[in-house]
Structure 1
Amino acid sequence: MAIRVIGAATLARDLGRWRQDEAGAQRRTSRPAYLALAESIRLLIHDGRAPLGVALPSERDLATTLGVSRTTVTSAYALLRENGYLISRQGSRSTVALPDDVKHDGSKPSRSILVTMSPGELPTIDLTYAAMYAPPEMNDAYSAALQGLPIYLGTHGMDPVGVLPLREAIARRYTERGLPTDPDQILVTLGAQHGLRLLLNVLTAPAERVLIDHPTYPNAIEAIRDVGARPVPVPLCPEHPDAAWDLDGIRSAARQTAAGTAYLVPDFNNPTGLLMSAEGRAELAAIARETRMTVIVDESMADQQLDGETPLPAAAFARGSEIVTIGSASKSFWGGLRVGWVRANQALITKLLGTRSTVDLGTPVMDQLATAHLLGQADTILSRRRDQLRSRRAALLDTLAEELPDWHAVPGAGGMSLWVQLPTPVSTALAATAPNHGVLLAAGPRFGVQGAFERFLRIPFTHDENDLRLAVKAIAAAYTALTPHAAEPLAPFTCY
């Protein structure tokens, strides 16, 4: 199979002003151009913008595009190769890699890092999750569910499709959002993650490629790996929120890898909060048709709109079955409400039911009835929760600016977290030491593949404002204690 290649124009765009320092001054006066270029490419690799295993453009093409000598590019590639960031084989292009001493699987840090702490000092602020507490209406929802339960007690209670009142409520909400939906197009699941796993079982086979936006939801990456498929990252561009998804990159990756499936989060991507435009959604649907690829769109965060207007659901731009949607009640209402759904055509629903019977026999009826009740009050509940999230996001941004002014956070249009760029690639080390300062963190590499995003950290704003301020102060203390030892640039890039 052909190796994916980053085009010279794409790499040049991502490099930006690679010869300028933070003040905008030309770097060429302080260090050779090849060092500046090598350092900039190295940061793209750490940030996940140059995915591992992807080939860089030829030296000639990149030199022409950047307007530098070929010797500059050759020397930069050689330096990256010497430091383990490129792998070259005779007769083939140089592919992106990571040095052995910084490779890891990006999984969540083990709680064993807490063993040096006494019980009274255990962290009290957990920022490893992005979810809110249950709304006050939850009690009424379960009371209503209990009252509606008797009509189901005369049955076996195992319905793999989902109870009709909930499927009607979900279909009605899609229709209100501009995507006409019939209850027969809805399969109720045990959360969005369960729905994703069912879809992957049906749509993929071992060793097949699945495109993902990068960064993305970490449990989705693990689900793809668990079915034996291989996630293929297509980088997001948070610095360009109006065009964050590289649609040309998605098209190119789909063609080059023959991926038959993609998993994308266009509605307030977790962790960045980015929102795909209506034009982007139309183009995504066109790409899916052109490449005969099924796109699984995760709408778990779709209700967390904090700024602007949300476009029509991505599936509204499909002409057939090229876009399948998964959703969940956990982000909108409560994480303990393990109810999700898949919206697809009836043929795919039938296949999913065949797979589901080998895994489970349905979603608990009580939870389904409670969710149906909450969907009936969704506008009131969500309006209040959005106001809370906006206030908490503002508090988090203000505290970050005060405590960590050299960190860079670009708020997305919604969601529940900030994707924060650190000055140095120390995210995993910071997550490991932060518990000693009273906070638990999810390191950036959790949201990517093969060690990407060491310069990023996801910070949710789902806690109350006071806790968020305390958490940032704790993060700042951990970073201050860490940086003298861990934030030094990697040799030989220290010569400038």
Structure 2
Amino acid sequence: MPPRTEQSTSARELATLVGAVEDVPGPRYAGLARRIQELVTTGALPTGSRLPAERELAAALGTSRVTVASAYRQLREAGFAVTRHGSGTVTELPSTGPAWGAPSTDPHVLDLAHAALEAAPQLTGAYEQALARLPACTDGHGYAPSGLPELRAAIADRFTTRGLPTDPDQVVVTAGTGDATAVVVETLLQPGDRVLVEHPTYPGAIGMVEAAGGRCIPAPVDPDDPDALARTAQLVTRQSSPRLAFLMPDFSNPTGTRLSAAGRRRVSATLWQHGVLAVVDEVTAELHLDDGPLPPFAAGLPDAATVTVGGLSKAVWGGLRIGWLRTDAALAAQLGATLGRRQLSVGILDQLAATALVRQLDEVLDQRRRALRERRELLLAELARELPDWVPTRPAGGLSLWCRLPPGVGSAALTAAAAPLGLLLAEGRAFGTGHAFDDHLRLPFTLPPDRLRTAVGLLAQAAAAVRRRPASSRLPARPATVV
């Protein structure tokens, strides 16, 4: 594991990043603290950076030492900095964030908090095939550590067809994509280890890292500049020495950003050179809506450089809890042993159904892409009509839009206002470390068209309610729990 080290930021460098603090409303020390906090939450100033001495920064900014000392104190009180013996003041991120709850089972609730499609038409037929094959399996004990051989072979064949030659012993079957990621974190992450994460990113990844005692190191993702990650990953990796990197190179959740072929080669080379294991989430990799497929992130790398995780929850149905991970055979065996200690085996009937579905995944994906294109365009049109001052992305694939909200409308307040209307939202802060992205909202285009239209109408009502409230009451003191 790379040593944990702090990287110094010079007074001149930080002053350049901070800019003119006198333009920030409020006392100068508070403005300075807010600017440094913004730099940390966006990843422009990596966590673990040693801040310059108070006197040096005061001179570089042309302000008093008292101003800088007060700003540092405010950062420490807010959880964005800590004083370490022998290291001075070092940037950190608050360990707590907004809750992100489970999907609702109430049929009267419209769920825009979770990007999940209804079941694919092929699901029922796959289970009928599985039931027909089940008697051949019932004479044994019913356990399949690391997965049924035929399912592992089908998954390996799928990787090979996509340009990543794979043998079945490189595959471990898990209870969903999140389970695959959890197995990696449980096996390889130690308390205090750092993990590079895209910023914003999937809330589940942040939660897993923090639950294991790890620290998320944000690397900014820019929907308007898909390869920005390729440039920032090198800086963040060099300054923070992460143990792992959690990436979604294809239609990153929530921004929908997709790394180009050149961008993914650059990121993968950077991580490999610095000894950082890439954990690559491909759950939406084949949900490309405008352009064709790109090579898998792991293509061209040693197998041990990457753990690729995927599953059927987004392409087929969230209720089918089948996922997988793919890496070199030795690491796959180690990860499989962790899975075996925890749950011994994934359900056989589900694995039999998944085998049939993986074999016909091209047919499933063709239908899914057609439906998602229609729903994406519908959601964009409804937003333009009902909420014209919102600024959504138009992703080339995946399952959701990432909307920039207008001034005066925050995602936390929207989430709270939408709940009584029967509309479930996930506030933007759930997708970031610290308290970033309250000015954004993720909107999946996974609901059927009629329900999507209704949801946007309710969203417009919630936004109007937020605008009518006094400004001081728009952001809840404590983030609203999604239930």
TM-score where L is the length of structure 1: 0.81
1:179-328 pair list within 5 angstroms: 179-241=164-226, 243-245=227-229, 247-328=230-311
Structure 2 CA distance for partners of 1:461 and 1:8, relative to 1, 3 Å: farther
Measure how far apart 1:271 and its partner are. Answer: 1.0
Measure how far apart 1:385 and its partner are. Answer: 0.9
Preserved contact between residue 212 and residue 262 of structure 1 (Cα < 8 Å) = yes
Measure how far apart 1:390 and its partner are. Answer: 1.1
Structure 2 CA distance for partners of 1:7 and 1:444, relative to 1, 3 Å: farther
- Match of 1:171, SS state, is helix
Q: Distance in 2 between matches of 1:307 and 1:468?
A: 21
Measure how far apart 1:305 and its partner are. Answer: 0.8
Preserved contact between residue 301 and residue 332 of structure 1 (Cα < 8 Å) = yes
Preserved contact between residue 81 and residue 87 of structure 1 (Cα < 8 Å) = yes
Residue type of the partner of 2:320?
L
Residue type of the partner of 2:5?
A
Q: Is 1:446 matched up with 2:449? A: no
Note the alpha carbon deviations across 1:180-235, whole angstroms, 9 max, x for none. Answer: 11112111111111111111122221221111111111111111222222222212
Note the alpha carbon deviations across 1:436-477, whole angstroms, 9 max, x for none. Answer: 233110011111222221111111110022222222222222
Structure 2 CA distance for partners of 1:56 and 1:266, relative to 1, 3 Å: farther
Structure 2 CA distance for partners of 1:383 and 1:70, relative to 1, 3 Å: same
Aligned counterpart, 1:163 = 148
Aligned counterpart, 1:459 = 443
- Which consecutive unaligned segments of at least 5 residues does structure 1 have? 20-26, 64-68, 115-119, 491-496
Structure 2 CA distance for partners of 1:207 and 1:37, relative to 1, 3 Å: closer
Q: Distance in 2 between matches of 1:238 and 1:9?
A: 30
Measure how far apart 1:248 and its partner are. Answer: 3.9
Q: Distance in 1 between matches of 2:362 and 2:16?
A: 41
- Match of 1:316, SS state, is coil
Aligned counterpart, 2:369 = 386
Preserved contact between residue 55 and residue 96 of structure 1 (Cα < 8 Å) = no
Q: Distance in 2 between matches of 1:104 and 1:374?
A: 39
Structure 2 CA distance for partners of 1:236 and 1:425, relative to 1, 3 Å: farther
Q: Distance in 2 between matches of 1:476 and 1:38?
A: 34
Moved more, 290-299 or 393-402: 393-402
Preserved contact between residue 425 and residue 487 of structure 1 (Cα < 8 Å) = no
- Structure 1 vs Structure 2: percent identity of aligned residues? 38
Specify which of 62, 67, 71 is matched with residue 62 of structure 2: 71
Note the alpha carbon deviations across 1:69-126, whole angstroms, 9 max, x for none. Answer: 943899997896687577596984674778xxxx952222699xx9xxxxx9x96211
Specify which of 465, 469, 487 is matched with residue 453 of structure 2: 469
Moved more, 49-58 or 336-345: 49-58
Q: Distance in 1 between matches of 2:447 and 2:380?
A: 14
Residue type of the partner of 1:147?
A
Note the alpha carbon deviations across 1:258-304, whole angstroms, 9 max, x for none. Answer: 32211111121111111111112212221222111111101111121
Aligned counterpart, 2:395 = 412
Structure 2 CA distance for partners of 1:487 and 1:3, relative to 1, 3 Å: farther
1:26-175 pair list within 5 angstroms: 54=49, 70-71=61-62, 84=75, 92=88, 95=91, 105-108=97-100, 124-175=109-160
- Match of 1:325, SS state, is strand
Q: Is 1:437 matched up with 2:421? A: yes
Structure 2 CA distance for partners of 1:278 and 1:338, relative to 1, 3 Å: same
Q: Is 1:337 matched up with 2:320? A: yes
Q: Cα RMSD over matched residues? A: 3.8
Structure 2 CA distance for partners of 1:384 and 1:110, relative to 1, 3 Å: closer
Aligned counterpart, 1:66 = none
- Which consecutive unaligned segments of at least 5 residues does structure 2 have? 476-483
Aligned counterpart, 2:381 = 398
Moved more, 139-148 or 306-315: 306-315
Residue type of the partner of 1:266?
P
Q: How many residues align?
A: 462
Q: Distance in 1 between matches of 2:292 and 2:412?
A: 35
- Match of 1:433, SS state, is helix
TM-score where L is the length of structure 2: 0.83
Preserved contact between residue 87 and residue 95 of structure 1 (Cα < 8 Å) = yes
Preserved contact between residue 45 and residue 51 of structure 1 (Cα < 8 Å) = yes
Q: Distance in 2 between matches of 1:188 and 1:10?
A: 47
Q: Distance in 2 between matches of 1:441 and 1:384?
A: 27
Q: Is 1:351 matched up with 2:302? A: no
Note the alpha carbon deviations across 1:328-351, whole angstroms, 9 max, x for none. Answer: 111110101110111111111221
